[in-house]
Amino acid sequence: MTPKEQLERVLLGTTAVFSEDELAQRLAAGRPLRVKLGVDPTAPDLHLGHTVVLGKLRQLQDMGHEGVLIIGDYTAMIGDPSGRSATRPQLTRAQVDANARTYQDQVFKVLDPSRTEIRRNSEWLGDMRLEDVIRLAGQMTVARMLERNDFESRHRTGNPIGLHEFLYPLMQGHDSVVVRADIELGGTDQTFNLLVGRDLQRAAGIPGQIALTLPLLEGTDGVQKMSKSLGNQIGLDEPAEEMFGKVMSISDELMARYGELLVGGAEWTKHAESHPLERKKALAGILVARFHGPDAAAEARRFFEERFQRRTDFAPSSVVVRTAASEMWICKLLKEAGLVGSTSEARRLVSEGAVRVDGNVVDLEFRFKAGAHRLVKVGRRRLATVEFETP
């Protein structure tokens, strides 16, 4: 692949690049580039919105470049102010650590492990002294900070801005200095943060990173960007039937955007003339197959058609969970029974009141007893008769 072809491929699907000439020069140099992507573990699970930038990073890995994934376990305790009209609630270190573990488990659903370097920014930010923080803060002015639309809007309307929020883009930018990023990826709401990293690298005497931004994916409501905190997400670890059903619930207009951003190319355009319902089923099938495999996608489609199109009674599956223990925590049982993808997802669903046993909502204290043979319902689409036995 020629440098020109590489450039065209990298730029495909991006919304902005700072700057294209510099990107062309680095690609033409012929060395593997270090491509940084930062994710803050502010919630336990990754969702389809994350895969827009993860997919671009995977594309660059397939071209021979190195992915540097920054798990922002330190910046997450501040919370990214991008696009926010109010200060984020601050998380504890325990919450962040638990979320970070699930992120590391899930990113390889998209990324190539052999070309991925995973770093936590607590490695360097956690050792900074007050003197270091002051020197870092000295590289930014208040006027420059207020160039951010969200900060400017909050300042103009009198909504408080915490001083710690001013530190966020500096800390994220310092990450780029430490890992010597050639390129940083982010959504359009990350433009300011990415450019701060570029400036800080130059101030440190190293070439400034290329900032590549990509579109934000709207959530299932079709209005706001996909976010766990807004409850409009489709999680990568959600069971196949749940993922399929959520995709089928989006509008036809949103379906076109999901197809463009998440599938694209010939794989998506071949469905252009299909009836909207069939096109949406195709989209749901592609996405479920990507994260759960083709067999799970076919079964999820059958489940949807039986339950929601033909309106037939869908018999619950029968599951036997065997263990040497005399009882099992509800979250672990849901995972062992295959009703959820992870115990963190189970914990979330139980906390939201979305899990019923024999018709009764259960809480996080609920424990299954040995010998129980009970009907378990998770959300609206997952139903199983669970028998819990000791060997």
**pLDDT per residue as tens, the chain (391 positions):** 888 999 999 999 999 999 999 999 999 999 999 999 998 887 778 899 999 999 999 999 999 999 999 998 888 877 666 555 455 566 778 888 888 888 887 899 999 999 999 999 999 999 999 999 999 999 988 888 888 877 888 888 888 888 888 898 999 999 999 999 999 999 999 999 999 999 999 999 999 999 999 999 999 888 889 987 777 889 998 889 889 989 988 888 899 999 999 999 899 999 988 888 899 999 999 999 999 999 999 999 988 887 766 554 445 566 777 777 778 889 988 888 888 888 888 898 898 888 887 667 888 988 887 665 667 888 866 777 777 666 5
- What the block records as the tokens of 13 is 């699907």
Question: What is the pLDDT at residue 85?
Answer: 45
pLDDT given for residue 358 in this prediction: 67
Per residue in 89-118, is it b (16+ CB within 10 Å) or e — as a string?
Answer: eebeeebbeebbebbebbbeebbeeebbeb
pLDDT of residue 309: 62
Residue 23 near residue 213, CB atoms below 8 Å: no
pLDDT of residue 388: 66
Indicate yes or no: pTM above 0.85: no
pLDDT of residue 101: 82
Instruction: Catalogue all structural domains in the chain, each as residue range(s) with its CATH number.
Output: 3-214 (3.40.50.620), 240-309 (no CATH), 317-389 (3.10.290.10)
Of 214, 178, 160, 166, the C-alpha closest to 51 is 214
pLDDT of residue 391: 59
Residue-level pLDDT at 344: 87
Contact in structure between 331 and 343 (CB atoms under 8 Å): yes
CA dihedral 124, 127, 133, 135 (to 10 degrees): -80
CA distances for 137 relative to 130, 131, 144, angstroms: 10, 10, 12
